[in-house]
Structure 1
């Protein structure tokens, strides 16, 4: 809903001048949505209001000045405070942010995007920014591992989905991992090829619109997934995949100059090559039918079952408190939660379902709907329901049927395709039966070896535009905000 404010009581009717001669009258009211108001303050005899002007492609800051006439300072101060209360709602003002910029994200250009499209929005919102340009892959892991989390409210990653992956894993390596993941809200400015995190949290893959969404962002809990592979434990926030999609992503690194189009080229190449990926899969299934999953999704969204992290607002600062859904052990600031189902080195639990798939085309698992601006693989995803969405399909079908299946992702019909197996799961193990290939975790390559995964409900904290996750839902639901080839770039 658009809510607006008029400055009628604070301005006098002014007249335009042509060659020094007053002509007509200019309006005494300037109407701005509360969402677009970044800051307001009284300086001397004028009120200065910073707003975000929004077009279809860009968001730009603009400063408005209103002269004060016969209004007391106390009344103005009260008015400004009420304005900021309405502008920010449950969001924290003047967030203290650690910013990491990856200059090489996607096709490059992240530094220019940050300097020209993003930082001006944050500056106008009076955010405190500590900026680091990363210089090598994996650097963000160490930076987040050593970060003084009490100095910041949020960590903002300007990149594709690579830096968020590194940030979550860096926080997860800390001795106080659970406290760090809950206290420090992770946010994303889309500067890469995939940009799935921004699509799900900000509702856009446009950097300046994402910046505005972060300014008004609400602290929201998010599920993370633990992967056990060899002796390593990896955190995943977005997806894990093996098969055509993983190869189309990781096997097209030489095409990064193409941007997101490289994924489509990679998929078509592998479909016509008729590649399949034999493997053994063991799964702890929670919901096995699409009708059951639809019912669950509808219930979750009707009940608005996304619990916003509580904040005690004081003098424009937010002091995070423990969410009721988190266990008491999380309050102690211990490391990551123990693995409920063991590691890849343990036996598969007896109540898991195990199948061998000789002609697997895709194995794709995640907990958020959007993997990229035009890739809604998990139509029924609820990013804080403690479940992962597991999608598989048979690779032994004709190229035309396969193309129809993959293009149905953009048209919003993927969920209902008969060739798509869609389940809600708590944990799984996958064992490749070929000698080499690609496994993708949040778009990052990991060794082509067996791994086991389980979900941790509400382990992380992120900033989302309105306290919930963006997603179109299974066919026929929540179509608002979805266009033919991806999500909208519009703001509320």
Structure 2
């Protein structure tokens, strides 16, 4: 490949323009749309204005470069402001030397898509009822145009009923697709994972990457990948699907009675489950329903009794914080560089620590408590929704569950302080909060009724056991790690 910068002389209308790509940015002079609404630097609609402005396009935002009669450069343009969405923009230029232009195109694209497959083929699942009914509009107005501009193709299904996504994933011809893309909240992702894990060819199927486009009221995966400021940005999430590589992510097996299924985000009991599942009638409020309900629950001082058992790996929040920062310094590991416990010699997932109905084995190192708790939350992701960083030290593939326990008798003032801390993850340093890394945990409720939530899904109110399985699935990510969720 030629050395940087890659230069190409082109024309925009009557103006000569130099395209310069330096490995980080593409730079050129484009018509200034503040001077006139006419443009030939983007989609043609009249003569070129004389005023120009320098444009700098980040590598990650370059979707495609197509050379036909003209040179078309499709980019995803970030918009300013936390509520503003990215937009597709196409710049058109005239070229004199087709051979030189073709070489420039090849050089730039080979760098833009370095280590990433171009022109992916997706299976897209859209929940038209997700996000107060906005998921379909988000797909049609933001995600679909960006995917098409990038030269990607897709088959799309709009889900019509509960477990529809699970049925599709279970029967999908996975060899036809590069990833399953969920335009929804976390519920459809949960269904897809369980559908893949139920297949007879789960050895192969579990490696099919999953892409997340935030289209629901709870978008834990999107926020964990993109962070507080960008987790709700559909354009950024779409870029992550187009430009992302398969990142290994731990999966949790959950056993209840004779049933076993899988959880990718969180397993909650007490307050967090009540807030998640007991606010269905408040869905019209969007993500705000979680905050409003949580404040009310904390002020009421409600607790729930259970037997809590866990196998600790680390119980010191100071050491967990140190380990988190150490992990952030280590090189990224991608799915194609790792092995998990499913292979030709191990065709099924084994729960090393038994099931919820089994007696606890002392040699496994279980710690058992009987008490009342405000909440008990196991998680594999730091965010559960916007401004709700319940498990800030959660890492995608450390083989541990992050277990969060709110003590009883914390008091209203402490409860409100903890609630404020949840917005940034600082609550884990509060004296009334315990935060642990564990291999597995079991919750056995004392009451006869209540809420238990697995990835936001209703689960029977009976004892359950959760165990982490390292790097068992993969999600599409540009960074190869979750967004920073703990301060240094």
- Provide the TM-score with structure 2 as the length reference: 0.87
Deviation at 1:5, TM superposition (A): 7.5
2:352 alignment partner in structure 1: 340
Q: Could you tell me how far apart the structure 1 residues matched to 2:424 and 2:68 are? A: 52
1:253 alignment partner in structure 2: 280
State the SS of the aligned residue for 2:402: strand
Structure 1 pair 293/326, CA: closer, same or farther in 2 (3 Å)?
same
State the SS of the aligned residue for 1:378: coil
Q: Could you tell me how far apart the structure 2 residues matched to 1:429 and 1:23 are? A: 67
State the SS of the aligned residue for 1:307: coil
Q: Could you tell me how far apart the structure 2 residues matched to 1:278 and 1:12 are? A: 70
**Residues 474-489 of structure 1: matches in 2 within 5 Å?**
476-477=487-488
Deviation at 1:72, TM superposition (A): 4.3
1:11 alignment partner in structure 2: 11
Deviation at 1:13, TM superposition (A): 8.3
1:308 alignment partner in structure 2: 334
Structure 2 residue corresponding to 1:93, chosen from 93, 96, 118: 118
Deviation at 1:275, TM superposition (A): 1.3
1:189 alignment partner in structure 2: 213
Question: After the TM superposition, which of the residue ranges 9-18 and 173-182 deviates more from structure 2?
Answer: 9-18
**Residues 74-153 of structure 1: matches in 2 within 5 Å?**
75-153=100-178
Q: Could you tell me how far apart the structure 1 residues matched to 2:162 and 2:7 are? A: 49
2:463 alignment partner in structure 1: 450
2:73 alignment partner in structure 1: 49
**Residues 331-410 of structure 1: matches in 2 within 5 Å?**
331-332=343-344, 335-350=347-362, 351-410=364-423
Q: Could you tell me how far apart the structure 2 residues matched to 1:376 and 1:83 are? A: 38
What are the Cα deviations for residues 51-99 of structure 1, in whole angstroms up to 9, with x where unaligned?
Answer: 1111031111111111112x242x3222112111222222221111000
State the SS of the aligned residue for 2:428: coil
Deviation at 1:258, TM superposition (A): 0.6
Structure 1 residue corresponding to 2:340, chosen from 326, 337, 341: 326
Q: Could you tell me how far apart the structure 1 residues matched to 2:48 and 2:460 are? A: 73
The answer on whether the counterparts of 2:181 and 2:211 sit within 8 Å (CA) in structure 1 is: yes
What are the Cα deviations for residues 130-175 of structure 1, in whole angstroms up to 9, with x where unaligned?
Answer: 0000000111111100000000001011111100000000001001
Q: Could you tell me how far apart the structure 1 residues matched to 2:191 and 2:305 are? A: 30
The answer on whether the counterparts of 1:190 and 1:205 sit within 8 Å (CA) in structure 2 is: yes
Deviation at 1:24, TM superposition (A): 8.8
Answer yes or no: is 1:220 the counterpart of 2:244.
Answer: no
Deviation at 1:430, TM superposition (A): 1.0
State the SS of the aligned residue for 1:94: coil
Structure 1 pair 280/5, CA: closer, same or farther in 2 (3 Å)?
farther
The alignment's C-alpha RMSD in Å is 2.3
Structure 1 pair 5/87, CA: closer, same or farther in 2 (3 Å)?
farther
* Runs of 5+ unmatched residues, structure 1: 311-322, 478-492
State the SS of the aligned residue for 2:131: coil
Deviation at 1:388, TM superposition (A): 0.8
The answer on whether the counterparts of 1:160 and 1:193 sit within 8 Å (CA) in structure 2 is: yes
The answer on whether the counterparts of 1:226 and 1:233 sit within 8 Å (CA) in structure 2 is: yes
Answer yes or no: is 1:413 the counterpart of 2:439.
Answer: no
Deviation at 1:302, TM superposition (A): 1.3
State the SS of the aligned residue for 1:76: helix
Q: Which structure has more RCO (C-alpha within 8 Å, separation ≥ 6)?
A: 1
The answer on whether the counterparts of 2:74 and 2:89 sit within 8 Å (CA) in structure 1 is: yes
Q: Could you tell me how far apart the structure 2 residues matched to 1:388 and 1:181 are? A: 20
Answer yes or no: is 1:199 the counterpart of 2:231.
Answer: no
Q: Could you tell me how far apart the structure 1 residues matched to 2:381 and 2:5 are? A: 35
State the SS of the aligned residue for 2:429: coil
- Provide the TM-score with structure 1 as the length reference: 0.87
State the SS of the aligned residue for 1:332: coil
Deviation at 1:420, TM superposition (A): 1.0
Deviation at 1:273, TM superposition (A): 2.5
Q: Could you tell me how far apart the structure 1 residues matched to 2:216 and 2:349 are? A: 31
Structure 1 pair 149/276, CA: closer, same or farther in 2 (3 Å)?
same
Give the aligned length: 451
